[in-house]
Amino acid sequence: MPFPVRFSPPLTAAAAAAGAVLAAVAIRRYLSLSHQRPSSAAVTMAAHSSSGAAVALVVAGKSPEDQQLLFSAASSVYLGEGDGYVTVALASDAHVAGEAGAFHVGAYMDSLRARRFGRWMLWSPRLASTQDLVAQNFSKLPVGAVCVADVQFKGRGRSKNVWESPPGCLMFSFTSQMQDARKLPLMQYVVCLSMTEAIKELCRAKGLPELDVRIKWPNDLYLKGLKVGGILCTSSYEPKVYNICTGIGLNVDNEKPTTCLNVGLQAIKANSPRLKREDITSFFFNKFEILFEIFSNEGFQALEKQYYDSWLHSGQKVVVQDVHEGQSSGSVVTIQHFFQGLTPTGYLYAIGQDGQNYELHPDGNSFDFFTGLVRRKMET
């Protein structure tokens, strides 16, 4: 499909060279200072205190043509109010591949096999929000472009929750498009499934113990009962197409505040090699491209069995608060298993103690979906 990219006039060679130098200096300065910071809190405070400083973006592409395409677009990238100004460098000019703690763009590109997604990458050592960057600059970027940050300090979650990321967390956002509005609510499930499958395939490819990462409806990832990741999908409409921005946060090396993938690996096998953020990202796009194609052509029903094999909720009992004339009463419903876990609109499909079928919706107020469910009787 053609890429909806609108470019500003190309940079002059002198301006491009100057921008590359500024970006490289900013990246090296940040990485050097970050080695002296004793905690993630120090990183967060520094990020907030220098919100008007330069934000370094490193541009990379699967091919030289991909890289140049994105470099032209990145010259006009907009950041939010107070989030700083942009300096841009090509990955070949930044010289940070071997720096401790930095995302290794070259290693990522080497293991990427996807043809549509992840071929264009913007990487920053410190950024307010990857989700905001791709959302605010959607029309300037190739569809399928990804933005990765080592640290972000205005991360976005469900219900406008704002969070600060610790080092060691994999954080990225990418763009996609869809024409069928009925499929939009199901996109987050395809992303969740892609990540769980990617982690399993990566473990097998590296000869590591397989991590049993599972999906908590609608958009969280859990390992051994603890949250290790989350997905956020937002969309906007243009004539005949929906622009989708998908953000993913995954605890890879940061044991706090819950747990992380590498701690899970060490618990299974001591001294096990560690998973790397670059490999997880490339394996994700390799898998997502396949599942997204199936989803687009055949619908979510073609992925349902895989999805239910990875989710947490088959046979789970939850309490639903019914309200009758101002009085609330608890009713127990059981989430159906195997091919009956989700309704066609993407909500939970459950059966009550009365034998009736119900569609469960979040109440929109509770932080945990399962503490604020309301039900609607389904027609048989």
17-65 residue pLDDT tens: 444 444 544 455 444 444 443 322 222 222 233 345 678 899 999 999 9
Buried b (16+ CB within 10 A) or exposed e, 90-118: bbebbebeebeebbbbebbbebbebebbb
Strands 120-127 and 146-152: parallel
Q: Are 264 and 210 in contact (CB under 8 A)?
A: no
Give the amino acid at 41: A
Strands 169-178 and 120-127: unpaired
* Interatomic CA distance for residues 351 and 284, integer angstroms: 34
CATH 3.30.930.10 in the chain is located at 13-309
pLDDT at 290 over 80: yes
306-345 residue pLDDT tens: 999 999 887 777 777 665 544 555 666 666 533 358 888 8
- Top CATH class, 13-309: alpha beta
Q: Is 203 left (phi over 0), alpha (psi -120 to 50) or beta?
A: alpha
225-271 residue pLDDT tens: 999 999 999 999 999 999 999 999 999 999 888 899 999 999 999 99
* Interatomic CA distance for residues 253 and 277, integer angstroms: 9
pLDDT at 73 over 60: yes
Query: pTM of the entire structure?
Result: 0.81
Can you read off the two tokens belonging to residue 34?
A: 């970050």
Q: Give the mean model confidence (pLDDT) for residues 90-105.
A: 72
| Residue 74, H or E segment | helix 64-74
Name, in order, each residue with C-beta under 8 angstroms of 259's C-beta and a sequence gap of 6 or more.
223, 224, 226, 228, 251
The packing angle between helices 277-298 and 187-205, to 10°, is 130
pLDDT of residue 374: 63
Q: Are 219 and 281 in contact (CB under 8 A)?
A: no
